[in-house]
Amino acid sequence: MEMNDTQRINAPRETVYAALNDPEVLKACIPGCESLEKISDTEMNATVVLRVGPVKAKFNGTVELSDLQPPESYTISGEGKGGVAGFAKGGAKVKLIDEGEDTVLEYEVKADIGGKLAQLGSRLIDSTSKKLAGQFFKNFSDHLEEGAGA
């Protein structure tokens, strides 16, 4: 599955970049995230509970940051295992563009799934993935804008 989109965030690029690297911010914004623990400057362990159609699974996995070019871009990749539900792995290239007082966040996602999840069909997987990405970026934008207004 591949997906790309943009999100306008009412915050300076440096602030957005710092938040994208903050485990507490990410944990608060990732739908279903139960834990996100920083292991090093570029690695985190995560536990996420997701429902995709009739399948609900708890994924345990790792997240790695690479191609770091602060405050302009980075690549985030991860892999999670959900027991009998299967696995999910993928990554996103994230680019931040200054536009006045706002930042435009561009992302390009590639993901792969296996196991029971893969049997649900690409339409359901694609629509769920788009919904989850949309929820994350709305949560992320809201989090930053609330912080800026406080």
Q: Give the confidence band of 140 by pLDDT, cuts at 50, 70, 90.
A: very high
Do 117 and 125 contact (CB within 8 A), yes or no?
yes
Between 121 and 93, residue with greater pLDDT = 93
pLDDT digits (tens, 9 = 90+) for 48-99: 998 888 888 899 999 999 999 999 999 999 899 998 888 888 888 999 999 9
- The three-state secondary structure class of 134 is helix
| Mean pLDDT of all residues in 34-48 | 95
Residue-range domains of the chain with CATH: 2-144 (3.30.530.20)
